Amino acid sequence: MYKLKTVQGYAPKLGHRDTEKAIKLVKDEFQKNLAAALGLERISAPVMVRAHSGLNDDLNGVERPVSFDVPEAGFEVEIVHSLAKWKRMALYEYGFKHGEGLYTDMNAIRRDDAMDNLHSVYVDQWDWEKVINRSERNEQFLQAAVRKIAGALADTKEFINGVYPALTHELCREVYFITSEELLKRYPDKSAKEREYEITKLHKTVFIQKIGGTLSDGTRHDGRAPDYDDWELNGDLLFWHSVLGEPIEISSMGVRVDETSLRAQLAAANATEREKYAYHKAILCGKLPLTVGGGIGQSRLCMLLLEKLHIGEVQVSVWSDEMLAACREAGIPIL
């Protein structure tokens, strides 16, 4: 099944070749702005990790990683879902100190993802991670990092609009912060996605905090693995996408778990067996540095900044025959 939203009279503002050139310009400019804003340096990263190592991102806990055996190595590997855990290990292994950080290109396959305007089974993002100290594990520090990312994004939008005058939309630099519980109380009769729609339509640039834990109505705003973000110090950064007429989540990020929050969240998720993995042991014994980090979707960012209606206009993936036919009929050129 697929879900496709069309817009009457939609026509892309850039053709295929200009789009391809603009994608590179956006990616080059944004990663430069991001690195400068957060003090990050680029490193190389894996496409696969050893299966059953505890290093892969478990997302909501139900997605199936793409896995295969490597006969020469003698074990099975998994295509990464993200590098949420691997990055923290890399900071330790490479000797990064307080205030230093990294970013990398992450390419993943999420075989169970839906196919719609915003979702593809191919995922490309910048994963970033930075060493902090215990006094920085607070909401104020997290919000400051969010503002820097939003600023880097807005700067990139201004730059690309200058290169391509056909692009005219602007991004709101001011971030509106709200917790998932506050959002529930504001819109108690709506679903989580409907609440995101209402708040982002109103404020344009929104960071929804504290995602993963149980809300007062017994639900969760969204799923989060229990072993990387601290559910009290994380969130999603959303922008209003005026072409699509919906919010678009550009980044999921947060202060990472320490030994206390890791134990509590593993217990809450009935996942205490993960404490046997090297990554989890290294956190529980204080070996790994305290960090903040996140992922920033590359294709979604290009879709937003280049004013595209469908993520397939800025990335090459696979789509059902029904999706491709519907896109052709709606005037949406899929790469």
CA distance 165 to 95: 44
Q: Which residues contact 78 (CB under 8 A, 6 or more apart)?
A: 48, 49, 50, 51, 56, 65, 66, 67
- Supply φ then ψ for residue 267, to 5 degrees: -65, -45
Residue type, 321: D
- Supply φ then ψ for residue 21, to 5 degrees: -65, -40
Beta strands in the chain (DSSP E): 40-42, 48-50, 67-70, 75-79, 101-109, 122-131, 176-179, 205-209, 229-241, 246-256, 291-297
Residues in the chain: 335
Q: Among all residues, which ones are annotated catalytic?
A: 57, 110, 125, 236, 249, 252
CA distance 227 to 246: 30
Q: Report how far apart, in Å, the C-alpha atoms of 119 and of each of 53, 59, 220, 329 are.
A: 27, 15, 21, 20
| Ramachandran category for residue 212: left, alpha or beta (phi over 0 → left; psi -120 to 50 → alpha) | left
